[in-house]
Amino acid sequence: MVRPQKRGAEHAAVAHPNIALIKYWGKRDEQLVLPRVDSLSMTLDIFPTTTRVRPAPGADHDVVTLNGAPAEGEALRRVVAFLDLVRSRAGQELRAVVDSENTVPTGAGLASSASGFAALAVAAAAAYGLDLDATALSRLARRGSGSASRSLFGGFALWHAGPPHATGKQADLGSYAEPVPAADLDPALVIAVVNAGPKAISSREAMRRTVDTSPLYEPWARSSADDLTEMRAALRRADLEAVGEIAERNALGMHATMLAARPAVRYLAPATLTVLDSVLQLRRDGIPAYTTMDAGPNVKVLCHRADADRVAETVRAAAPGGSVLVAGPGPGARLLPGDGR
Ligand code: 2P0
């Protein structure tokens, strides 16, 4: 465990993306980023984000660089709002220089907000002298982006929605992620990138519209609580088939809630369905492989690591224009020694 150096020095942290097997979809408090449902994810071992934060005495604004280019618009606003939160907790006003490098290839179609805000939470807390444990860092990362709360932890992580009627500080304290043990699962996630373009509607806006207008939202949220109970039991007994079946139905149900929103939110593309069909065929051929999709058309296929090459080959053939990546379980977010260079 790397300890923060002295407050005010540059601190660097690294975090990896995560993919939810039980989805986070819908907030009950936008400002505190409190979800409607518990969610459970696997942190990946690919595409880390490394973020450096250096308080800058005398500066009158934050300077934020993402992959070498100055951040602007909504991306800049979200990072500055996050730094404001850290500063208010630390009782400091110093602006900062933030430099974030994301290794997701441009256009890979994989979101970076989870790894990005997890790394930023760890680096910024250290740079401003906040001594927070992993639970408190998870709560803090949540304020940047909900799914970032889960990237604090390696392997499988459960993000608690928290007590539904709590408000203010109690509500904030109740919603954080924690690691979930999973015995001998040896999983792989094969990621079929069928469309790397920007999405037509942000997940933030899409989940808001779904909660506000979809008659399927509440039934899905209720069934998701049962999915989570079953998922935890399946992880405990290292039953990949059950984990996959539960993840697949949970994700399809989430997409059903969006399809029933008014107007509908549809992320699934023709190529998505072609990949889903190819995975059904794999199952008929005796390979345990199960799909999950997030706020986009790309498909993640959960399978045994020993089957990952065969699964990758199948989905590559099913979506010839796309690209295919294979990931395993990855580590939690951590502070890097020195400035991380
Ligand atoms: C998830 N997604 O559980 C779900 C499933 C997308 C579909 O978390 O508004 O970027 O920043 O809290 O975390 C994407 O939402 O949303 C997401 P905000 P976030 O992974």
State phi, psi for 288 to the nearest 5 degrees. -70, 110
Residue 129 lies in a domain: yes
Ranges 7-11, 143-147, 173-177, 286-290: which has the least confidence:
7-11
- Asked if the model's pLDDT at residue 5 lies above 80, the reply is no
For residue 112, the model assigns a pLDDT of 83
The pick from 147, 191, 208, 250 for probing ligand 1's pocket by mutation, whose C-beta has the most ligand atoms within 8 angstroms, reads: 147
Closest CA to 322 of 149, 190, 192, 143: 192
- Asked if the model's pLDDT at residue 160 lies above 70, the reply is yes
118 & 207 share domain? no
Residue 335 lies in a domain: no
Query: Given pLDDT bands bounded at 50, 70 and 90, which one contains residue 6?
Result: low
Query: Given pLDDT bands bounded at 50, 70 and 90, which one contains residue 104?
Result: confident
CA distances from 195 to 107, 181, 205, 293 (A): 8, 33, 20, 13
* Any ligand 1 atom below 6 A from CB of 33: yes
Q: How close is the Cα of 149 to the center of ligand 1, in Å?
A: 10
Is the whole model's pTM more than 0.85, yes or no? Answer: yes
The tens digit of pLDDT for each residue in 299-318 reads 999 999 999 999 999 999 99
234: enclosing H helix or E strand: helix 217-236
For residue 3, what are its two tokens?
A: 């300890």
For residue 277, the model assigns a pLDDT of 98
Count of residues in the chain: 341
Residue 120 lies in a domain: yes
Assess contact for 66 and 49: CB atoms under 8 A: no
C-alpha of 247 from chain center: 15
Residue 334 lies in a domain: no
The tens digit of pLDDT for each residue in 10-66 reads 999 999 999 999 999 999 999 999 999 999 999 999 999 999 999 999 999 999 999
Q: How close is the Cα of 273 to the center of ligand 1, in Å?
A: 22
Residue 340 lies in a domain: no
* Any ligand 1 atom below 6 A from CB of 22: no
Residue at which a domain ends, from 157, 182, 207:
182
Q: What is the C-alpha to C-alpha distance for residues 250 and 220, in angstroms, rounded to an integer? A: 8
Cis upstream peptide for 263 (omega within 30°)? yes
135 & 165 share domain? yes
* Any ligand 1 atom below 6 A from CB of 294: yes
102 & 240 share domain? no
28 & 167 share domain? yes
Q: What is the C-alpha to C-alpha distance for residues 64 and 71, in angstroms, rounded to an integer? A: 6
158 & 70 share domain? yes
* Any ligand 1 atom below 6 A from CB of 258: no
| CATH number, position 228 | 3.30.70.890
Q: How close is the Cα of 250 to the center of ligand 1, in Å?
A: 14
* Any ligand 1 atom below 6 A from CB of 324: no
For ligand 1, atom 7: residue with the closest CA? 294
* Any ligand 1 atom below 6 A from CB of 38: no
Q: What's the domain count of the chain?
A: 2
Query: Given pLDDT bands bounded at 50, 70 and 90, which one contains residue 91?
Result: very high
Query: Given pLDDT bands bounded at 50, 70 and 90, which one contains residue 110?
Result: confident
The pick from 22, 24, 79, 258 for probing ligand 1's pocket by mutation, whose C-beta has the most ligand atoms within 8 angstroms, reads: 24
229 & 128 share domain? no
Residue 158 lies in a domain: yes
131 & 221 share domain? no
- Give the angle subtended at the CA of 291 by the CAs of 287 and 293, to the nearest 5°: 165
Q: What is the C-alpha to C-alpha distance for residues 178 and 297, in angstroms, rounded to an integer? A: 28
Residue at which a domain ends, from 139, 157, 182:
182
State phi, psi for 282 to the nearest 5 degrees. -55, -45
Taken in order 78, 82, 85, 91, the sign of the CA dihedral is negative
For residue 109, the model assigns a pLDDT of 63
* Any ligand 1 atom below 6 A from CB of 147: yes
- Asked if the model's pLDDT at residue 229 lies above 60, the reply is yes
159 & 254 share domain? no
Closest CA to 123 of 201, 51, 208, 230: 51
Buried b (16+ CB within 10 A) or exposed e, 236-264: eeebbebbbbbbbbbbebbbebbebbeee
For residue 34, the model assigns a pLDDT of 98
The domain in which residue 258 lies consists of 187-327
Please spell the DSSP secondary structure of 105-157, one letter per residue.
PTT-----HHHHHHHHHHHHHHHTT----HHHHHHHHHHH-GGGGGGGSSSEE
CA distances from 130 to 41, 125, 285 (A): 27, 5, 53
Q: How close is the Cα of 202 to the center of ligand 1, in Å?
A: 10
Q: Average the pLDDT over 159-181 and give the result.
A: 96
CB-based contacts of 332, cutoff 8 Å, min separation 6: 15, 43, 134, 151, 152, 153, 154, 179
Residue at which a domain ends, from 165, 182, 199:
182
The tens digit of pLDDT for each residue in 174-227 reads 999 999 988 889 999 999 999 877 778 999 999 999 999 999 999 999 999 999
